[in-house]
């Protein structure tokens, strides 16, 4: 009986929806007061965009004219729109696409893009700048062109874009030692990086679990060191020198520099398994089959070790034109050095205090080799002990380490574990945490951050054995890193980013890129942000650490902090209230260091409603051949299914029809809005009081001009400022 009533109610509700959709016009008021969607679907966000009247129509085969300096960038665009090869001879053709050498003010990776009724003009000082202009233009075209559609024409609003990067180093570190990643998968990552204007692929090629680079002078490195386990558990692989040359050329054409890393003197088990004489004991080792930090490190006391390294580096430099070579230097255990006669003899010969200083000596020797080879060394922050200031330090513990390195005079690449280690799960280094982090703003850099070359996210693959798992950890969070690396900090906007990421997700899908579906990403859940206490760490005498206490979200409407410790007298007396040290969608850190323990229980944590993910997808229905409809069928109340019926390209506009499918699990109105690339809302539909369940809302728009649009759904119950308060209990 109850089931029958529920079915009848759903039928009545569906009828109401149909009547409402038919009755509501394009002038419907928005669901609530909100800022207009002004962001172009471009990621990372450009520095400056000026919208202008009119539109430009790009046809399949629109001619491309280019100065010879821009041949690579122009060719990539010509292939995208099925145009003939670019030519330097400009004819009076309208519309056309022209690549022009910029005036002296536009240099490096900067560009200026002008879209007018006469065509498109790209101005840059280098091919890299022109290439990045193409990536911006590509995102203004329909994503259907990525999937091989018979693209014929598309309309783009007139505008001018001036753009340049915030950081020169915009990187991704990819570990292919723990688990081998095939060359085609690496090329796909390079493609996605280049589209996001990222320009450094830091390639981790050697570690305890595998040596992945062919070195012809030492064939055992790949014959033995590239494989671990026996029989059915045998695992491995390596990159031949031809593979490397192919990948390097592929990346260079996309303005991505591949920076190889050969980790030394630690993380060297695979090298010692290949050539035992590289170690202090000269004993036969096995390539590591487990994860961790091992005692099997290179012996820094023997000249044969340095002869090996220099021979390897000569081949590496021949393979990689990168100005930088990463030499690792992290997590080097030194137990075996203490029992090694060669290390002690070298220590005495070089007048070192003890064998612990052998790593500094080792670093200096490797620096000298790379200097002779015309390369700059990079190392993890441990390498700063003994490195000269010509070495670049990659700070991975946290930002404060990078600041310390800067104070010592080093140039720094920021890769803090929180939030830029993307092998950490999405519920720890959340998308919001990655996006909201800034390596400069709010941190006391001695030079205001001028020593920071840039940022790099890291993907370590111990727990990522397949390309699917690699891609689903890297994407979509790589987009948040890309925007932090390219766009000025003041341009970052979380709400705008979520909209643009939805659009980018549609493009990735057309390109065949695997990524964690956006409705599986841990977005704000729309509930009040509430806390549940976690046990505080204690010192030996039972006194709590003077540090942030971590709290995690709970399903309760209200949570209470940790209760006072019985050993209250040992705690410094203070009446300062708790301080919110950090928060995002999944975790809150509250600092009670200066709050008397007797007062802690007098505070409760309350949070406002947090914002839902406003989903957006690029609508690609209006191509001439009608092949560009889009269909999604993924779960989640803010991940609509859109099915767009083909409409011919027409200057007078046609009728666009599509359906939004969404799941309601909390009562309240739902708004479906359609925005054009100018950020103007062309249609808005408000549906009141949907019952629980999954619904399909039909939308019809008359006089719908051909072009690209965004569809955004919003649920009223899940909107509000993202903020947190710690208030005294009432």
- Give per-10-residue mean pLDDT for the chain (730 aa): 39 32 33 42 93 87 90 92 82 84 90 95 96 95 71 81 97 98 98 98 98 98 97 95 98 98 97 98 94 96 98 98 97 96 96 94 97 97 93 95 96 96 90 90 91 98 97 96 94 81 82 83 49 35 36 29 32 49 46 56 44 40 32 33 33 56 64 76 76 69 66 53 33
Superfamily classification of domain 48-163: Chitobiase/beta-hexosaminidase domain 2-like (3.30.379.10)
CA nearest 89: which of 121, 66, 62?
66
| Distance from C-alpha of 524 to C-alpha of 715, rounded to nearest angstrom | 13
Task: Say if CB 160 and CB 52 are below 8 A apart.
Answer: yes
CA distances in angstroms from 409 to 299, 404, 510, listed in the order given: 29, 9, 46
CATH of domain 13-37+613-718: 2.60.40
| Distance from C-alpha of 661 to C-alpha of 148, rounded to nearest angstrom | 26
CA nearest 505: which of 493, 495, 494, 515?
515
Q: Kindly name the residue from 55, 127, 185, 207 that is annotated as catalytic.
A: 207
Give 194: exposed, middle or buried? Use CB within 10 Å, 0-12, 13-18, 19+.
Answer: buried
CA nearest 260: which of 193, 312, 320?
320
Tell me if residue 331 is catalytic. Answer: yes
Question: CATH says 169-486 is which class?
Answer: alpha beta
709-715: strand order across its sheet: 615-619, 709-715, 670-676, 681-687
Task: Say if CB 199 and CB 255 are below 8 A apart.
Answer: yes
pLDDT at res. 674 = 74
Q: Kindly name the residue from 204, 267, 629, 718 that is annotated as catalytic.
A: 267
Q: For residue 571, give both structure tokens.
A: 């705690």
Torsion of CA 314, 320, 322, 328, to 10 degrees: -70
Length of the chain in terms of residues written: 730
Give me the numbers of helices (H) and strands (E) for the chain, helices first please: 18, 30
Q: Kindly name the residue from 67, 220, 315, 331 that is annotated as catalytic.
A: 331
pLDDT at res. 505 = 82
Tell me if residue 207 is catalytic. Answer: yes
Query: Can you give the residue ranges of every domain in the chain?
Result: 13-37+613-718, 48-163, 169-486, 531-607
pLDDT at res. 541 = 36
Quick one: which H or E segment has residue 402?
helix 399-407
| Distance from C-alpha of 384 to C-alpha of 391, rounded to nearest angstrom | 8
Torsion of CA 155, 157, 162, 164, to 10 degrees: -50
| Distance from C-alpha of 714 to C-alpha of 412, rounded to nearest angstrom | 41
pLDDT at res. 23 = 31
Q: For residue 285, give both structure tokens.
A: 């080792």
């Amino acid at each position: 009986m109850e089931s029958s009533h529920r079915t009848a109610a759903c039928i009545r509700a569906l009828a109401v929806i149909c009547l409402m959709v038919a009755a509501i016009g394009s002038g419907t008021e928005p669901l609530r007061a909100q800022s207009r969607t002004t962001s172009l679907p471009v990621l990372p966000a450009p520095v400056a965009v000026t919208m202008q009247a009119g539109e430009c129509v790009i046809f399949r085969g629109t001619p491309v004219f280019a100065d010879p300096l821009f041949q690579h960038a122009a060719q990539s665009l010509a292939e995208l729109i099925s145009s003939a090869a670019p030519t330097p001879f400009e004819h009076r053709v309208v519309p056309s696409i022209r690549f022009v050498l910029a005036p002296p003010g536009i240099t490096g990776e900067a560009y200026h893009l002008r879209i007018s009724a006469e065509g498109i003009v790209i101005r840059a000082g280098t091919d890299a700048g022109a290439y990045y202009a193409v990536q911006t233009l590509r995102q203004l075209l329909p994503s259907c062109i990525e999937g091989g559609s018979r693209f014929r024409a598309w309309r783009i609003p007139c505008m001018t874009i001036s753009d340049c990067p915030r950081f020169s180093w915009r990187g991704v570190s990819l570990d292919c030692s723990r688990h081998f990643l095939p060359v085609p998968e690496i090329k796909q990552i390079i493609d996605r990086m280049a589209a996001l204007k990222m320009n450094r692929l830091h390639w981790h090629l050697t570690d305890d679990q595998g040596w992945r680079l062919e070195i012809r002078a030492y064939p055992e490195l790949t014959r033995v060191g590239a494989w671990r386990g026996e029989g059915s558990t045998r695992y491995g692989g390596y990159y031949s020198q031809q593979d490397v040359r192919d990948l390097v050329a592929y990346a260079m054409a996309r303005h991505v520099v591949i920076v190889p890393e050969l980790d030394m003197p630690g993380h060297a088990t695979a090298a010692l398994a290949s050539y035992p004489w590289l170690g202090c004991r000269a004993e036969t080792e096995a390539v590591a089959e487990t994860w961790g930090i091992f005692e099997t490190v290179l012996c820094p006391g023997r000249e044969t070790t340095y002869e090996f390294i220099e021979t390897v580096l000569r081949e590496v430099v021949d393979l990689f034109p990168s100005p930088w070579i990463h030499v690792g230097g992290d997590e080097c255990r030194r137990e075996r050095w203490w029992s090694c006669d060669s290390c002690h003899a070298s220590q005495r010969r070089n007048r070192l205090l003890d064998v612990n200083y052998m790593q500094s000596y080792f670093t200096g020797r490797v620096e000298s080799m790379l200097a002779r080879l015309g390369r700059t060394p990079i190392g993890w922050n441990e390498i700063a002990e003994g490195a000269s200031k010509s070495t670049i330090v990659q700070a991975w513990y946290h930002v404060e380490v990078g600041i310390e390195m800067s104070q010592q005079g080093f140039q720094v690449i920021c890769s803090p574990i929180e939030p830029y280690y993307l092998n950490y799960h999405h519920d720890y280094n959340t998308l919001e945490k990655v996006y909201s982090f800034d390596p400069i703003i709010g941190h006391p850099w001695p030079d205001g951050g001028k020593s920071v070359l840039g940022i790099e996210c890291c993907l370590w693959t111990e727990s990522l054995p397949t390309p699917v798992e690699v891609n689903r950890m890297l994407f979509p969070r790589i987009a948040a890193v890309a925007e932090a690396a390219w766009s000025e900090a003041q341009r970052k906007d979380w709400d705008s980013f979520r909209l643009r990421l939805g659009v980018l997700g549609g493009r990735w899908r057309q390109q065949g890129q695997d990524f964690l579906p956006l409705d599986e990403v841990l977005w704000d859940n729309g509930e009040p942000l509430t806390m549940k206490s976690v046990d505080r760490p204690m010192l030996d005498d039972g006194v709590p650490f003077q540090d942030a206490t971590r709290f995690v979200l709970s399903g309760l409407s209200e949570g209470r902090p940790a209760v006072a410790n019985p050993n209250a007298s040992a705690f410094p007396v203070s009446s300062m209230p708790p301080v919110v040290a950090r928060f995002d969608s999944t975790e809150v850190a509250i600092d009670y260091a200066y709050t008397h323990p007797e007062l802690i229980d007098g505070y409760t944590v309350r949070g406002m409603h947090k914002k839902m993910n406003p989903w957006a997808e690029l609508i690609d229905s209006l191509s001439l051949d009608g092949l560009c409809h889009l269909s999604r069928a993924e779960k989640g109340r803010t991940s609509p299914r859109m099915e767009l019926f083909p409409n011919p390209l027409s200057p007078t506009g046609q009728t666009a029809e599509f359906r939004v499918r969404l799941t309601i699990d909390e009562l309240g109105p739902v708004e479906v809005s359609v925005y054009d690339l100018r950020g103007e809302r062309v249609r808005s539909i408000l549906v009141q009081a949907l019952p629980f369940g999954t619904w399909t809302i039909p939308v019809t728009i008359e006089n719908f001009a051909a072009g690209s649009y965004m569809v955004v759904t919003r649920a009223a119950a899940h909107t509000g400022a993202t903020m947190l308060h710690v208030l005294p209990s009432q």
